[in-house]
Amino acid sequence: MSWLDTYIPQTWRGTYTLFKKELLRFWRVAFQTVASPVLTALLYLLIFSHVLAGHVQVYKNVPYTAFLVPGLMMMSLLQNAFANSSSSLIQSKVMGNVVFILLTPLTYLQFFVAFLAASIIRGLVVGLSIYLVSMFFVDIEIVHPLWIIIFALLGSALLGTFGIIAGIWADKFDQMAAFQNFVIMPLTFLSGVFYSIHSLPTFWQVVSKFNPFFYMIDGFRYGFFGQGDISPWISLLVVTAFLFGLAWLCLKMLKSGYKLRG
């Protein structure tokens, strides 16, 4: 009897198999899916810290270089969690092999769980890798590790769910590229990765508070420094609400077979 027979119920073995497939899909090209975003984040860190480190201090007793690291971690975590589920689905749809997944006895909930779990893992691996590499360049304190874990999990789950929705909706690679370039990228860059929203004019501070990515990054950063632009409890409430809303929409789309079943 294998460990699969021992620890995973019969009804969830198909879910585990799909999860493993999605996990191996990004891990076998880790140089592209993990090393590349880590290098990009490192370049951001080195360039911005070199240019602004002596001129900007966002939080008291927190060097600007250290301030950057949590933002870069969460930005990369979110982008990669989204990319994992969205790219897998659009590739399957364009190549026509999504039908082989739909023919399995998996329920729409099991389908969702498998794709979401793989997206969370990829996001966490990228975020952790950036943290480990950053330790060679800057001392980073951790004040509230539980907040870090909570927002890392919620953030990767939210963007993984968003990726499934985008993958279902898109019919072509250029539609997915437009979604990522005109929705995900602006929202992450305008969420306080490189700055505190308190440094913005009043109008743009209000606008920033309508960006769910801001709450994910600010709550995550609070875990490192014990300081943030708003209360982490408010960030937790907003992020959780967005996650449940997107999960409900995603499950509804999967249940109806929207753009998956011809």
Task: Count CA atoms closer than 13 A to 103's CA, side-chain side.
Answer: 5
Q: What single string gives the DSSP state of each residue in 109-125?
A: HHHHHHHHHHHHHHHHH
- The answer to whether residue 242 is domain-embedded is yes
- Cα angle at 118 between 112 and 124, to 5 degrees? 130
Cα 29 to the center of its chain, rounded Å:
18
pLDDT in tens, 17-31: 899 999 999 999 999
Query: Which pLDDT belongs to residue 1?
Result: 43
Query: Which pLDDT belongs to residue 181?
Result: 87
What tokens appear for 224 in the block?
Answer: 């490192």
Q: Which region, left, alpha or beta, applies to residue 61 given φ > 0 means left and ψ of -120 to 50 means alpha?
A: left
Q: Which residues contact 255 (CB under 8 A, 6 or more apart)?
A: 108
Query: Which pLDDT belongs to residue 8?
Result: 60
pLDDT under 50: residue ranges of the chain: 1, 3
Query: Which pLDDT belongs to residue 169?
Result: 92
- The answer to whether residue 190 is domain-embedded is yes
Please check whether residue 193 is in contact with residue 72, taking contact to mean a CB–CB distance below 8 angstroms: yes
- The answer to whether residue 14 is domain-embedded is no
Query: Which pLDDT belongs to residue 165?
Result: 95
- The answer to whether residue 169 is domain-embedded is yes
Angstrom distance (rounded) from CA 39 to CA 202: 34
Angstrom distance (rounded) from CA 163 to CA 85: 5
Structural domain span for residue 48: 31-256
- The answer to whether residue 151 is domain-embedded is yes
Please check whether residue 191 is in contact with residue 181, taking contact to mean a CB–CB distance below 8 angstroms: no
Q: Which region, left, alpha or beta, applies to residue 14 given φ > 0 means left and ψ of -120 to 50 means alpha?
A: alpha
Domains contained in the chain, number? 1
